[in-house]
Chain A
């Protein structure tokens, strides 16, 4: 993430984060002198409800095709939708997390024909959405405005078999209706984004917010988050917006960034050669790394919206709203501030940028609570943060095996010098693999006697009794290592682990030569 990714986005909310990050929202300079890109994103987020939006079918990714369906989500004649209140709660949480106003809302029908749309209309919210106005604060201190975040149902999933993967060229198409009726919240941003990097940062941050609210699992690879980008370019300093194109089919952060870059370049090229950008919907083709025209403005669908007569307005009571929001944890922006403060930032004092990046990563990965708890128990903040964004992050799926108590013990063992960095990493990896207490694991690994200090005592005794050999060892004579190990083995009657003795010797060596230790640790 680059500092200049922060654009001319709305300011104000970003102030504190900006101070803590030590960066602040700076104007975009980008790689396109004389031009500015204006980007707004529409993010579709599948909600993590047990059941679908309007029926009792299971909402789960990866089921056998067409097994999680019923008359309602298949749109069979005579069936009627009934709103899932859990979806409304999650939508309200998203609204609260994005600082939106939660309003009474109604559903509309968005009419268009497509084989994966069971009713050939989508039940969505139109001019009276549940959440309006708001903003999302990015890690770099910028703030992107939120126009609305509304509820709607997902469509089925079509697989076109044959040329090109699009319906017009397909030999035949297969439709899976398991996804039909899955609840979505569509989050529409203001056109506050100025670069592909910032677009990426926005989606990354939004994803973290959605996970933090419990609304989504955030799995882009499973389609839990899908992004459409509205992109236009204009001459730097122009106030009027250029003609925009909507780019669809962005299924990963990487696709998003590449498509945005491609589209900016394409439009700039059109304008620079005196052409006019046509307002149209474009399709991102991953294979060719190009966007191609899907339909022009003239071919755009007339969705013939009208209020859904099968549903009644949603008017959440104050009580319901506050209950729902009360159950919510802090959002990433707040968590970053909290963690940064635990690391010493605050009162106008900024963190070192590299350290702030670690803070951002820890919050992104949801490791901030573990780190903060460990710090609370007495762990050294920087060591805890470093271990979390490196070793734990590398094995994030196993993080549940780690308690704050055991993590703190590990960090303190390392920090107090009872474990070398290498040993600490080995013990941590074992803790992640099968759980357990760091002291015990260290003993099993032969990093023994750390609690009883037996091994350390034995090594110390040997060193004290053999100053000559120790001196040779510190001077780099590797041949003497075996001798020292042998002495320790003898003294402990073979209980000591050879590797552990070597590690202890190296640890003592490191302590005696502090500058070298830093090098080893990195």
Chain B
């Protein structure tokens, strides 16, 4: 690992691990976290990526492994070493799958050695949010109620990652059942933002975002119900993408709100996210809501530019953001205009009702989805004299406050006598929001907005104020209500020096054009001079990068 590696944050408390940290982590350090019997590969050169960043990107790893320039085992060992060195502090992972990962890496290496195609993700370490089922490996949703449960099957996306040659390296921490925006509702403790350990990584897929930002995995999968991929991506300075609803199979994704949930990629760069998206997208007959059509190729359009593309900046969402974040969005719009896009402001007033509708509909579905955790078949059981008391005791002990809050909210919204006033009305709002987007997309190819209204906030600052926490998703929720794709691209930093994410929204199935825009933003972002370095390249001090001309 070269200078400026994993340790850099926005303060100097991590200097001790910074350049001094050996590129080949010592055995001792590794065995503390990873499985103790890990055979260590000994000395091998850390590979600096093409753009000068400290971590190789997924694209570079896949290319190098496929060509036999280095082995998948070396790649995985290096990443396991980084995890061993630093995850004790960050807690990005609930479970590091060292042995499985090395076995998988060896299989990839054997394929390469025998001249077979190891797949597009050959040897690339992929972290999984802990709500994706992995056969035989604990899958907890960061909840006590599922602690110790080992699914008997793999999620479809997990299978597809493996089939593409990707190496599953571990299961990442999250808000309990994906309910939260900071990863603080995890029953196993919060994940720290790798860029500033006093701050949250966002959520609910905070562990996945942090894992990519910290160089623990080149790629990660998260799930996005109301912004749970995009918001932590923005807060950790990485790319995060939510596909069109139905584009990626939900089979094996433990449900939060079924009509919103979508699995999507985290990556250091948009093109790496595109690679993982292509690996997981496409029809799955095990998911009735998966679209029965081939997934679009996004990679082919990555270099197409934005000339003549019509870009609308959503004023209501920009207005919802803090001044520094709003500035970055306007700069991003300017960048696109400079690159030839036709940029204009667009007002979508219905967006302002998104949060209210979402916090009725998503909890309603959740109240039903989480009913199965009753202590009868799997997971936690708190013994009691009758079945009913056992279920009550189990759920009381097994669920955290935020999950209980949403179950109650959702049950209430669906109750006889309240259904029409809450659930049914919220459904109508959802339809109106979809209509409003449809209207907007008659004028625009993509829309631009902030991802999160603020940069990463301090740990503990919002956890006792649910409403403030919910507002963190105000810019991301509209796409979930509409079922549309959207992605967050790092674009400069806020006044506090923490990364800002700019969000590209697109109509259903328009992932290709969305990526096309994302790549242009990424290439022109204020941090472009050290793009790809993720954690280390984000300016460490407040003010740096602000107002960078585009």
Contact = CB atoms under 8 A, between A and B. Distances in A.
Interface in A381-403: none
Given A78-B251, A168-B386, A306-B368, A312 B376 contact: no
Interface string A99-139: 00000000001010101001111000000000000000000
B423 A306 contact: yes
A511 interface: no
B387 A76 contact: no
A85 to B, nearest CB: 12
B152 A78 contact: no
A79 B374 contact: no
Contacts of B252: 78-79
B287 A306 contact: no
Contacts of A79: 153, 251-252
Given A309-B258, A310-B289, A77 B372 contact: yes
Given A113-B388, A113-B391, A120 B289 contact: no
A79 B155 CA distance: 9
A74 interface: yes
Contacts of A305: 414
Given A71-B152, A168-B386, A310-B289, A80 B251 contact: yes
A122 B132 CA distance: 24
B376 A302 contact: no
B371 A310 contact: no
Interface string A80-91: 111100000000
The main secondary structure of chain A at its interface with chain B is: loop
A160 to B, nearest CB: 10
B132 to A, nearest CB: 8
Given A78-B252, A78-B255, A304 B386 contact: no
Interface string A57-89: 000000000000001001111111111000000
A312 B374 contact: no
Contacts of B376: 115, 175
A471 B391 CA distance: 89
Contacts of B378: 76
A310 B131 CA distance: 17
Nearest to B260: A309
Interface residues on A, range: 20 to 34
A80 B289 CA distance: 10
B414 A309 contact: no
Of listed A113, A168, A302, A309, residue having the most chain B CB within 10 A:
A309
B336 interface: no
Nearest to B387: A115
A404 interface: no
Contacts of B146: 77
A111 B372 CA distance: 10
A331 B386 CA distance: 48
A56 to B, nearest CB: 10
B296 to A, nearest CB: 21
A517 interface: no
A302 B371 contact: no
A463 interface: no
A173 interface: yes
B171 to A, nearest CB: 13
Nearest to A177: B377
A78 B288 contact: no
A120 B364 contact: no
A167 B385 CA distance: 12
Of listed B257, B411, B416, residue having the most chain A CB within 10 A:
B416
B59 to A, nearest CB: 30
B133 A78 contact: yes
A355 interface: no
A118 B149 contact: no
A119 B387 contact: no
Interface in A147-167: 167
Interface in B350-389: 364-365, 367-368, 371-372, 374, 376-378, 386-388
A109 B368 contact: yes
Nearest to A116: B376
Contacts of A304: 367-368, 411, 414-416, 419
Contacts of B387: 115, 167, 173
Interface in B403-461: 411, 414-416, 419, 423
B133 A77 contact: yes
B289 A121 contact: no
A71 B149 contact: no
B108 to A, nearest CB: 26
B487 interface: no
B113 interface: no
A83 B288 contact: yes
A306 B288 contact: no
A78 B416 contact: no
Contacts of A71: 151-153
B401 interface: no
Contacts of A111: 367-368, 371, 414
A83 B289 CA distance: 11
B79 interface: no
A80 B371 contact: no
A411 B131 CA distance: 71
B72 to A, nearest CB: 27
Nearest to B253: A78
A311 interface: yes
Contacts of A74: 377
Interface in B151-194: 151-153, 155
Contact of A309 (B133, B139, B365): B365
Contacts of B391: 113
B364 A306 contact: yes
Nearest to B149: A77
B153 to A, nearest CB: 6
Contacts of B253: 78
A67 to B, nearest CB: 15
Given A71-B152, A77-B146, A306-B368, A113 B374 contact: yes
Contact of A119 (B153, B285, B372, B419): B372
B377 A118 contact: yes
Given A113-B388, A306-B364, A76 B151 contact: yes
B254 interface: yes
Nearest to A120: B371
B24 interface: no
A302 B289 contact: no
A56 B443 CA distance: 46
B328 interface: no
A86 to B, nearest CB: 16
B288 A82 contact: yes
B259 interface: yes
A100 to B, nearest CB: 25
A46 B294 CA distance: 37
A109 B259 CA distance: 13
Contacts of A121: 368, 371
B250 interface: yes
Given A113-B388, A304-B414, A306-B364, A75 B372 contact: yes
A76 B289 contact: no
Contacts of B388: 113
B45 interface: no
B364 A78 contact: no
B468 interface: no
Interface in B110-128: none
B254 A78 contact: yes
A117 B496 CA distance: 51
Of listed A77, A83, A309, residue having the most chain B CB within 10 A:
A77
Nearest to A119: B372
B151 A77 contact: yes
A462 B13 CA distance: 126
10 contacts: A79-B251, A113-B391, A167-B386, A302-B415, A304-B367, A304-B368, A306-B423, A309-B289, A309-B365, A310-B289
- Cβ-closest 6 pairs across A and B: A120-B371, A309-B259, A304-B414, A309-B258, A77-B254, A78-B252
Given A75-B377, A304-B367, A310-B255, 7 more contacts: A78-B132, A80-B250, A80-B288, A119-B371, A167-B387, A304-B368, A309-B257
